[in-house]
Structure 1
Amino acid sequence: MKTLEIPMDPIGTTFTFGTLSILWLFNRWLVARRQAVRSGKPGGDAAMAPELRKTAKRGGERKQGKEGGKSDVTGKPSGKAARRPGIVARVVAALGQLFRRQPAEDPDHGLYSAQPLLNKEERVLFVELERQIRSIFGSGYWLMCQVSLGEILKSKDHGAFWKINNKRADFVLMSPSYMPLATIEYQGSGHWGFTEEHAEKAEKSDALKRKALRSAGISMIEVFENWNPRSLRKQLVSLKKRKT
């Protein structure tokens, strides 16, 4: 059985761990130095002359005064001096920013963009259809948009199914039990295209839809560009008489 080997960068890893080790040792030296100064034990910087200590203390107080870091009643620095991070913390933070992995950019970002489900003419028809359906059929009936025929039709003949699967109905009228009662096709200005070839292709597609829907007992209402609310109502009333 093959094992998965994860490639590593030995130079980068050694540099990172080496830097962190040096910082840790430097931090330990600072802590030991501060403890020696506070305890007053001789040795190293703790053995400096009292006058030199006073001079250093006065210089530190003047520096704090310039930066607005006054001491409180306990003698501890406050203001900027109290909030200023130590050199070790700043170096560690800088290294963390340096070695932080940047998220990879999505290669598909901007590849797609949204578009309206219906064009302007179809939206006008959709609004009128919904109003007429509520008036004629009552509540519980639904109007769906841009529905694949493969979602409302099925067939044991796989070849026949795949012929209609990618075909779409502009609108589908659904019963309260979500069964399709009819499809509504809008034969608008763009339906037939601008060439004879496109018009012939559209006619063949419509013929295939009619045949498949008729086989399933589903009506197909065709609404042409010159429709009006009165003609639309007449078609829907006729549909209700046939289906109820």
Structure 2
Amino acid sequence: MDVMVWELVGLGLILVAILGLNGKALTRRKGSRPKLVYSRERQAERRDPTIDQLQKVMQASFTKRRIMNGSEYGLFRLVEKELPQINGGYRVFAQTCLGEIIGSKDSEAHACINSKRVDILIIGNTGEPLAAIEYQGSGHYQGNAAVRDAVKKEALRRAGVRYVEIFESYTDETVRQLLRDALRPAPQTAATSPAA
């Protein structure tokens, strides 16, 4: 009896393979007889959205875009040059997405910061984000920029990442001092024991 069951299973698999090779698949709706549907139609229903993305990208043209303006790039270079002097194994990144460096169990809160970026990010030698630097140039506070910055600042504060604002009027030495202050380890508070 077991041999007959396996033979029927084998025949069923062969039938499915033959139908698949002919570009057709067997589907059945509840309460109806089986009907043949072309596999292309079924594939379209299950189509991976990244295939559509690839097709759109292949049909479009793209150009390079600068990720920083001249003033931001000047600040980036200053930070990049100063970090080895602080000697902590730090690395610097430009235009980093907050959703990649901080997280939240609250998906709605995370969605609020997911696509926001910081101008410059400093990470430690373990890859952990330590400080986010925002350059505030002359044209920065337009529209709702102050509110956007407040959202970033609060999310970073809650995640334990320092937020440093650099204004265009700051001297190089002021920027260097702000960097040293931001990368100084936070003071440890002594644990207090409950009163007996």
Structure 1 distance, partners of 2:78, 2:128, is: 22
User: What corresponds to 1:127 in structure 2?
Assistant: 77
User: What corresponds to 1:170 in structure 2?
Assistant: 119
Contact 1:174–1:180 (CA under 8 A) maintained in structure 2:
yes
| Counterpart among 128, 132, 139 of residue 179 in structure 1 | 128
Larger Rg: 1
Aligned residue identity for 1:227: Y
1:151 is the counterpart of 2:100: yes
User: What corresponds to 1:108 in structure 2?
Assistant: 59
Q: CA deviation at 1:139?
A: 5.5
Structure 2 distance, partners of 1:192, 1:240, is: 26
Contact 1:181–1:243 (CA under 8 A) maintained in structure 2:
no
Q: What TM-score results when the alignment is normalised by the length of structure 2? A: 0.64
SS in 2 for 1:184: strand
How many equivalent pairs are there? 136
Contact 2:88–2:124 (CA under 8 A) maintained in structure 1:
no
Q: Deviations over 1:165-195 (max 9, x none)?
A: 01101011000000000100001123223xx
Q: Deviations over 1:99-118 (max 9, x none)?
A: xxxxxxx9625x22111222
User: What corresponds to 1:55 in structure 2?
Assistant: none
Contact 1:149–1:168 (CA under 8 A) maintained in structure 2:
yes
Aligned 1:75-94 pairs, distance under 5 A: none
SS in 2 for 1:171: strand
Aligned residue identity for 2:130: L
User: What corresponds to 1:233 in structure 2?
Assistant: 176
Contact 1:152–1:180 (CA under 8 A) maintained in structure 2:
yes
SS in 2 for 1:154: coil
> Larger relative contact order (C-alpha < 8 A, sep ≥ 6)?
2
Contact 2:134–2:166 (CA under 8 A) maintained in structure 1:
yes
Aligned residue identity for 1:224: F
User: What corresponds to 2:148 in structure 1?
Assistant: 205
Aligned 1:14-53 pairs, distance under 5 A: none
Tell me: CA distance 1:172–1:243, structure 2 relative to 1, closer, same or farther (3 Å): farther
Structure 1 runs of 4+ with >3 Å offset: 1-5
* Bigger fraction of residues in helix: 1
Q: CA deviation at 1:210?
A: 1.1
Structure 2: runs of 5+ lacking an equivalent: 1-18, 25-56, 188-196
Q: What TM-score results when the alignment is normalised by the length of structure 1? A: 0.52
* Bigger fraction of residues in strand: 2
Over the matched positions of the two proteins, sequence identity in percent amounts to 35
Once superposed, what is the RMSD of the aligned Cα atoms? 2.0
Aligned residue identity for 1:192: Y
